[in-house]
Structure 1
Amino acid sequence: MTFAPVDTRATNMPGMPAMARAYARWVESRGGMDGHELRVITCNEQNTPEGAAACARRAVKEGVVAVVGSYSQYGTFMAPLEAAGIPFIGGYGISEEEFTSYLSYPVNGGQPALLAGNGIQLAGSCGGVALVRPDSLAGDDLSQLLHSGLTSDRDHTTTADILAKDDATDYTEQARQARTQAAKPRDTGAEAEGDRPGCVTAALGDRTETFFDSYRRLPDDGRDIRIASVIGSVGQPLVDRTGGRSGPFEGAYVTGWYPEADDRRWDAMREVIDEHAFGDNAVDPADAGVQTTWIAYTVLEKVVGAIDRDTITPRTLAYTLDQGLQVSTDGLTPELRWGYEDMLPAPSFPRIVNRSVTFQIVKGGRLVAAQDEFVDVADTLTSAF
């Protein structure tokens, strides 16, 4: 099963179930997944705790062997899966349970890694930083993670934490607060830091576009402010539809999990989308949800290939993963492994086994790599709490 919110008032991820269906058609065209038929069931999570739990109960009822490449900010889906022994492979990385449950096998560092990485990325470039984030349980830790990333490079960094509803239609007041707080003098007393611009970073999922629309409508007050965000809140599709190189995101700093969308390591995924998505506009190869689902199904396929049995079950999948099977994602992430020794010594998210992020910048209307290598944020994550 792959589940994600579709047609809701807040964040929507229709590309994830659409990518799962395309992957299944691709597998069928090749004669199966290591000889096994792959049947994908999709479910609308509805962006509610009840919807997430309902999808999980349906997964149990349908007898799925795994939930793969799915999205939910609500961890209510995990208890039914744990009770049935069903592994959760490659979730989007936004709910706490994805990084604490013994049956969760994440492929990225989720929101924690993005915010920690965003702090590191902004540390050397910004004089003051204001974070606009959801007024929700999932958003409560984001400020501390960003702050930890900022202070990893230098001491006494101050961060403004600005709360916003993740289904609002206007963010003028939050945008005004963010500009004011980002432009405040820093408290380090270092003269050189006065030369750095202030930075406003937002992590509001789908509503990030609405926030920056409110932000750009503010009158120009002459302050030197740069904008920033993380993948999942800002991506190439958003940059394109807001004007590209002439739009508000030109020059923005963006922290991601994976290589930029134009990287050749995505070529295999693009070919599958071209041949098996049948023109489904929901399947955008530049969308982080689509990319995560592709990586999650890549992991599933390699785990299935490592099981020397005719019948694949939830138990055999989980057992194989727990034994420390090392999985390559063809360079889209560092090699992944979920053995006990691979866990992160951080009580809030021990199952972040991929502690790497990428730094990108919008240049000429395209998200491009700000540096070629993955950036390890393990130390920042362990020091955040």
Structure 2
Amino acid sequence: MTGRRSCFFTRPFLSKAATLIGAATATAVGASLLTGCGSLPGASGGSREPVTVMTWAPEGTAATNMPGMPAMAQAYARWANANGGLAGHELKVITCNERNSTVGAAKCAKQAVRQGAIAVVGSYSQHGRAFMAPLEVAGVPFLGGYGASDEEFASPLSYPVNGGQTALLAGNGRQLSRDCDRVSLVRPDTVAGDDLPTLLGSGLAEGDRKPPTDILAAEDANDYTAQARQALTSAGAFDAYGNGKGCVTAVLGDRTETFFDSFRRVESEAARKVGVASVLGSVGQPLIDRTGGKDGPFEGAYITGWYPVASDPRWDPMLDVIREHAFADNRIDPADPGVQTTWIAYTVLSAVLESLAQSGGDDDKDSVSASDVVGALNRSEGVETGGLTPTLSWRLEHMLATRDFPRIVNREVTFQVVRRGRLVSVQEGFVNVGNTLVQAPSAG
């Protein structure tokens, strides 16, 4: 397979780049600018010690499930190993069902440590407090999580590849501020959901809009009629002549479909029409297709995402891997942002291992440790992901100037809309929401 391009740039290392976790202190080794951009797995040649990583996600639960993420990780490993491994290392992927619980998240993290994982890669969990502590104690980096917990943007051992729900909500506010006079937000009644109204409101404020009406909902309900009525009333209550445009945005993961089922019934009964919106991960192309496409409830919906639309040719290398190595695994949907995040995270891992192989010489890096990965990530001036994200670097100078989310290094989102049943880009390129995040009131 050809076409995948990833680069890992470093500058000569002049001093020890210590993280805040002593166990993960980076080794001061010389590293030169790499010019082998776009090399395939195994390009460094030679047979080195296998490397083990873990990918976890919730599966078979009553709330949000992400089975495509571990499935994508396994497909990536089959592809990489069929091409000589990553920088000559056989890639071993272990997976874990996080079960959408603090106990499950902690168990997965401890299993990763116990089985010698050098990193947790491309995973999903809302329970950052439960999984980051065991990883920090062992010095194991968390590379490219979904961005569903605050700890992913605060821990010195977390290396996010997107801006998480944080950036999506800020971006959704920016997107809605163009057309919506008033906005209702329906979001989970969880710790992870508590920041969402502030973030959405920060985006709305940039268009001189008022903060959204905050409507809490159970994450695993089977009916949202009460919340739908409240959302419609708040978004549509203008003057006696109905002037103004109201919008309702819902961010409920797998239950977003259930909410909009309730909402459309309530909207029909009230004979009132408002705009609808969401973020990728709660609404995506598979859901749009399943609910009627251009004749379904999401036609015209405003959607904010992290990455280019699924039809963008920049995803072609991932599609090739899925076709060749995922066989008939229907857990993997290439339009799923979880699957896409896992692909990007493993792209970064490949670049990390390649940089270690080249900086350490042909014989010095037969084995790779978690601290090696942390040191390489801390030294990196940038990792290219084939245009799917901006160049990623977790050096201090690239951190976000905000207390709550300092490790957001990718502040860019995409504005999309559903037209004729397909998600399409509203505008070319990415939208940087870094300033929106900086201006958002602190959660503390």
Query: Residue 162 of structure 2 is aligned with which of 95, 100, 108?
Result: 108
Query: Residue 81 of structure 1 is aligned with which of 119, 129, 135?
Result: 135
Partners of 2:262 and 2:328 lie apart in 1 by 33
Query: Residue 301 of structure 1 is aligned with which of 321, 343, 350?
Result: 350
Question: Matched residue of 2:307: which SS?
Answer: coil
Is 1:332 the equivalent of 2:388? yes
Q: Is the 8 A contact 1:17 1:42 kept in 2?
A: yes
Partners of 1:160 and 1:269 lie apart in 2 by 39
Q: Is the 8 A contact 1:12 1:206 kept in 2?
A: yes
**Structure 1 partner of 2:19:** none
Partners of 2:381 and 2:104 lie apart in 1 by 32
- In structure 1, stretches of 5+ residues that fail to align are none
**Structure 2 partner of 1:121:** 175
Q: Is the 8 A contact 1:125 1:196 kept in 2?
A: no
Question: Matched residue of 2:381: which SS?
Answer: coil
Residue identity in the other structure for 2:193: G
**Structure 2 partner of 1:380:** 436
1:341-377 CA-partner distances (Å, limit 9, x unpaired): 1111111110000000000000111100011110000
Question: Matched residue of 2:418: which SS?
Answer: strand
Question: Matched residue of 2:173: which SS?
Answer: helix
Q: Is the 8 A contact 2:238 2:244 kept in 1?
A: no
What's the CA shift for 1:248?
0.3
Is 1:16 the equivalent of 2:69? yes
**Structure 1 partner of 2:336:** 287
**Structure 1 partner of 2:275:** 226
Is 1:92 the equivalent of 2:150? no
Residue identity in the other structure for 2:389: T
Structure number with greater Rg is 2
What's the CA shift for 1:305?
0.7
Is 1:258 the equivalent of 2:307? yes
Equivalent residue runs for 1:124-135 within 5 Å = 124-135=178-189
Query: Residue 216 of structure 1 is aligned with which of 249, 256, 264?
Result: 264
Question: Matched residue of 2:90: which SS?
Answer: coil
Partners of 2:245 and 2:388 lie apart in 1 by 32
What's the CA shift for 1:184?
2.4
What's the CA shift for 1:159?
1.3
What's the CA shift for 1:195?
5.2
**Structure 1 partner of 2:23:** none
1:181-220 CA-partner distances (Å, limit 9, x unpaired): 011239xxxx9xx754210000001110110011112234
Q: Is the 8 A contact 1:197 1:224 kept in 2?
A: no
Query: Residue 371 of structure 2 is aligned with which of 277, 300, 315?
Result: 315
Question: Matched residue of 1:325: which SS?
Answer: strand
What's the CA shift for 1:222?
3.3
Question: Matched residue of 1:217: which SS?
Answer: helix
Question: Matched residue of 2:389: which SS?
Answer: coil
Q: Is the 8 A contact 1:244 1:366 kept in 2?
A: yes
Residue identity in the other structure for 1:234: V
1:84-117 CA-partner distances (Å, limit 9, x unpaired): 0000000000111100000000000000100000
Question: Matched residue of 1:290: which SS?
Answer: helix
Residue identity in the other structure for 2:61: T
Q: Is the 8 A contact 1:70 1:92 kept in 2?
A: yes
What's the CA shift for 1:152?
1.1
Residue identity in the other structure for 1:312: V
Is 1:241 the equivalent of 2:290? yes
Q: Structure 1 221/27 Cα, relative in aligned 2: closer, same or farther at 3 Å?
A: same
**Structure 1 partner of 2:246:** 198
Equivalent residue runs for 1:41-52 within 5 Å = 41-52=94-105
Q: Is the 8 A contact 2:248 2:277 kept in 1?
A: yes
Equivalent residue runs for 1:148-167 within 5 Å = 148-154=202-208, 157-167=210-220
**Structure 2 partner of 1:144:** 198
Partners of 1:23 and 1:262 lie apart in 2 by 20
Q: Is the 8 A contact 2:278 2:303 kept in 1?
A: yes
Question: Matched residue of 1:161: which SS?
Answer: strand
Normalised by the length of structure 1, the TM-score is: 0.96
Residue identity in the other structure for 1:211: F
Residue identity in the other structure for 2:418: V
Residue identity in the other structure for 1:184: A
1:119-141 CA-partner distances (Å, limit 9, x unpaired): 00000111210000000000001
1:290-347 CA-partner distances (Å, limit 9, x unpaired): 0000000000001111113222110011011111331000000111000011111111
Partners of 2:225 and 2:170 lie apart in 1 by 26
**Structure 1 partner of 2:86:** 33
Normalised by the length of structure 2, the TM-score is: 0.84
Q: Is the 8 A contact 1:127 1:195 kept in 2?
A: no
* Larger displacement relative to structure 2 (371-380 or 303-312): 303-312
Partners of 1:29 and 1:250 lie apart in 2 by 42
Q: Is the 8 A contact 1:4 1:71 kept in 2?
A: yes
Question: Matched residue of 2:310: which SS?
Answer: coil
